[in-house]
Amino acid sequence: MKNGLRTLRAEHGWSQAELARRLGVSRQTVNAIEKERYDPSLPLAFEIARLFERRIEEIFEPRAGAESRG
Amino acid sequence: MQDDRAQAEDGGTRIWGCSACATPTDRRNARTANLWGVFWLPVFAASVWLLKHYGEHSLAVCVGALLLGGLGMVPFVRAQLRFLREADELTRTLHFQAMGVAFGVGILAAVFGGFLGKILELATGSPVAAEKFHSLNPLLAMIVAFMVAIAVLMRRYSR
């Protein structure tokens, strides 16, 4: 799953730790999502979308022809 | 380079560090589970001691010792379940994957432990050592496999 989390986070001037705190997850989770090594659960994806006031599909995009690694 | 920048941006702490890997809830629940695990060790020792010294001629002592050892494990299991239920979702994923690896390794060790014991017996010429190795092997293999899997998976997701 491709995502624009790092860009959105940078736009808000938040560190990974700050974003993790706002989402209630570990910094490792934020790092893994940003590096597209881990696909978040649906509740976490909704929480990310709510936090950045975007729709989920504006942040996450399925990688064509590739299986999830999360 | 980009990773270095990301680390610097987040205060310079490596993501591999403990502060990045767990939320405060995870740390609290893990600590509770570990404490119950430590609590179980003397209970287990007492159970074995009872069996060894008084269990030979008394069914009641045997049953009591087994119940003591088994029931003493209940708080630890409950704490572990709570840890997993409330864990950060990546932490939970890592633990489930590591448990899967440990389970598979444990089965392999149980199935092939006898062969490894035989190899040890042939190598050392000591059937006693081989017997001990055989009986400990699956549990030890599971513990080691779990720890190695956690370390490898954390590294994989943190890179």
Q: Please give the residue of chain B at the shortest CA–CA distance from A6.
A: B6
The pLDDT score that the predictor gives to residue B11 is 39
pLDDT (tens digit, 9 = 90+) per residue, B7-16? Answer: 434 433 343 3
Q: Is the pLDDT of residue B87 over 60?
A: yes
Q: Please give the residue of chain B at the shortest CA–CA distance from A69.
A: B157
What b-and-e string marks burial along A33-54, b requiring 16 or more CB atoms within 10 Å of the CB? bbbbebbbeeebbebbbebbee
Chain A from 6 to 45: CB within 8 A of any B CB? 15-17, 20, 24-29, 31-32, 35, 37-38, 40-41, 44
Which of B33, B66, B87 corresponds to the end of one domain?
Answer: B87
* Range(s) of the domain holding residue B72: 22-87
Instruction: Give the 3-state DSSP-derived string for B101-149, with helices as H, strands as E and coil as C.
Output: HHHHHHHHHHHHHHHHHHHHHHHHCCHHHHHHHHHHHHHHHHHHHHHHH
The pLDDT score that the predictor gives to residue B15 is 36
* Average pLDDT value over all residues in chain B: 81
Q: Is residue B101 part of a domain?
A: yes
Considering the domain architecture, whether residues B114 and B126 belong to the same structural domain is answered as: yes
Considering the domain architecture, whether residues B94 and B56 belong to the same structural domain is answered as: no
The residue ranges of chain A whose pLDDT is under 50 are: 68, 70
pLDDT band of B132, cuts 50, 70, 90 = low
Nearest to B22 among A16, A26, A31 (CB): A26
pLDDT band of B116, cuts 50, 70, 90 = confident
pLDDT band of B6, cuts 50, 70, 90 = very low
Considering the domain architecture, whether residues B83 and B133 belong to the same structural domain is answered as: no
Considering the domain architecture, whether residues B61 and B104 belong to the same structural domain is answered as: no
Considering the domain architecture, whether residues B34 and B96 belong to the same structural domain is answered as: no
Considering the domain architecture, whether residues B105 and B146 belong to the same structural domain is answered as: yes
Considering the domain architecture, whether residues B94 and B152 belong to the same structural domain is answered as: yes
User: What is the count of structural domains for chain B?
Assistant: 2
Considering the domain architecture, whether residues B139 and B112 belong to the same structural domain is answered as: yes
- C-alpha A70/C-alpha B76 separation (Å) is 29
Q: Give me the residues paired with residue A3 across strands.
A: A60
Q: Is B24 on the interface with A (CB under 8 A)?
A: no
